[in-house]
Chains A and B, each alone.
Chain A
Amino acid sequence: MIFGLSLVFILTSILTVAGALAAALLRNLVHCALSLTVTFAGLALLYLQLDAQFAGFAQILIYIGAVAILVVFAILLTRGSGIPEHRSFSSSWLAGLVISAGVFSLLSWAVIESIPASAARATPQLTVQKIGQALMSSYVLPLEIVAVLLTVALIGAVIVAMPESSKGGAK
Chain B
Amino acid sequence: MTVISPFWTNLDQIFVLLQQWIESFFPLWLQPAVGSVLGVVAIVAAFPGIFALTTVLERKGLGRMQNRLGPNRVGPLGILQPVADGIKSLTKEDIVPLTADAAVHFLAPVVLVIAVFLGFAVLPIGRNMVLANLDAGLLFFFAIGASTELSIFMAGWSSRNKYSLLGAMRAVAQMISYEVPLLLSSVVAVMITGSLSTVKIVEAQSGFTGIFPHWYVFTPWGFAGFTLFVIAALAETNRSPFDLPEGESELVAGYFTEYSGFKFALFFLGEYLGMFSIAGFAITLFLGGWGAPLSVLSFIPSWAWFFAKLFCAICFFIWLRGTLPRLRQDQLMNFAWKFMLPMSLLNLLVAAAWRFLPEGPSRWVVCSAVLLAAYVLLGRVLMRHQHLGARSYRYAD
A64 at the interface (CB under 8 A from B): yes
Inter-subunit contact B147/A82 (CB<8 Å): no
Inter-subunit contact B140/A69 (CB<8 Å): no
A100 at the interface (CB under 8 A from B): no
CB distance from B138 to the nearest CB of A (A): 9
Inter-subunit contact B146/A66 (CB<8 Å): yes
Complex Cα gap A69–B146 (Å): 10
Contact with A along B148-177 (1 / 0, CB 8 A): 011001100100100001000100100010
Inter-subunit contact A58/B139 (CB<8 Å): yes
Write out the residue numbers on chain A whose beta carbons fall within 8 Å of the beta carbon of B139: 53-54, 57-58, 61, 128
Write out the residue numbers on chain B whose beta carbons fall within 8 Å of the beta carbon of A18: none
Complex Cα gap A58–B183 (Å): 13
Q: List 7 A-B contacts (CB under 8 A).
A: A28-B101, A31-B101, A34-B104, A53-B139, A64-B147, A65-B145, A128-B136
Inter-subunit contact A61/B143 (CB<8 Å): yes
Complex Cα gap A82–B162 (Å): 13
Can you name the residue of chain B whose Cβ is closest to the Cβ of A28?
Answer: B101
A17 at the interface (CB under 8 A from B): no
CB distance from A91 to the nearest CB of B (A): 28
Write out the residue numbers on chain A whose beta carbons fall within 8 Å of the beta carbon of B134: 53
Contacts A61-B143, A76-B157 supplied; 18 other A-B pairs, CB < 8 Å: A53-B135, A53-B139, A53-B140, A54-B139, A57-B136, A57-B140, A60-B144, A61-B139, A61-B146, A65-B143, A65-B146, A65-B147, A65-B179, A69-B150, A72-B150, A128-B196, A129-B135, A129-B195
B212 at the interface (CB under 8 A from A): no
Can you name the residue of chain A whose Cβ is closest to the Cβ of B190?
Answer: A132
B26 at the interface (CB under 8 A from A): no
Inter-subunit contact A69/B176 (CB<8 Å): yes
Q: Name the interface size band of chain A.
A: 20 to 34
Inter-subunit contact A60/B143 (CB<8 Å): yes
B142 at the interface (CB under 8 A from A): yes
- A30-B157 contact in complex given A54-B136, A54-B139, A57-B140, C-beta closer than 8 Å: yes
CB distance from A84 to the nearest CB of B (A): 11
Write out the residue numbers on chain B whose beta carbons fall within 8 Å of the beta carbon of A73: 172
A37 at the interface (CB under 8 A from B): yes
Complex Cα gap A31–B176 (Å): 22
Inter-subunit contact B149/A82 (CB<8 Å): no
CB distance from B134 to the nearest CB of A (A): 6
Inter-subunit contact A64/B146 (CB<8 Å): yes
- A34-B147 contact in complex given A61-B139, A69-B176, C-beta closer than 8 Å: no
- A82-B157 contact in complex given A34-B104, A60-B143, A61-B146, C-beta closer than 8 Å: yes
A108 at the interface (CB under 8 A from B): no
Write out the residue numbers on chain B whose beta carbons fall within 8 Å of the beta carbon of A28: 101
Inter-subunit contact A60/B104 (CB<8 Å): no
Write out the residue numbers on chain B whose beta carbons fall within 8 Å of the beta carbon of A41: 147
Write out the residue numbers on chain B whose beta carbons fall within 8 Å of the beta carbon of A15: none
Q: Residue A69 contacts which of B104, B142, B149 (CB distance < 8 angstroms)?
A: B149
Can you name the residue of chain A whose Cβ is closest to the Cβ of B154?
Answer: A34
- A60-B147 contact in complex given A53-B135, A128-B135, C-beta closer than 8 Å: yes
Write out the residue numbers on chain B whose beta carbons fall within 8 Å of the beta carbon of A58: 139, 143
Write out the residue numbers on chain B whose beta carbons fall within 8 Å of the beta carbon of A64: 143, 146-147, 150
Write out the residue numbers on chain A whose beta carbons fall within 8 Å of the beta carbon of B172: 69, 73
Complex Cα gap A76–B157 (Å): 9
Complex Cα gap A30–B160 (Å): 13
A24 at the interface (CB under 8 A from B): no
CB distance from A88 to the nearest CB of B (A): 18
Contact with B along A80-115 (1 / 0, CB 8 A): 011000000000000000000000000000000000
Q: Which chain B residues in 223-257 approach chain A with CB under 8 Å? A: none
Write out the residue numbers on chain A whose beta carbons fall within 8 Å of the beta carbon of B147: 41, 60, 64-65
Q: Residue A68 contacts which of B104, B145, B150 (CB distance < 8 angstroms)?
A: B150
Q: Which chain A residues in 48-67 approach chain B with CB under 8 Å? A: 53-54, 57-58, 60-61, 64-66
Inter-subunit contact B136/A53 (CB<8 Å): yes
Complex Cα gap A166–B101 (Å): 42
A127 at the interface (CB under 8 A from B): yes
Complex Cα gap A32–B140 (Å): 26
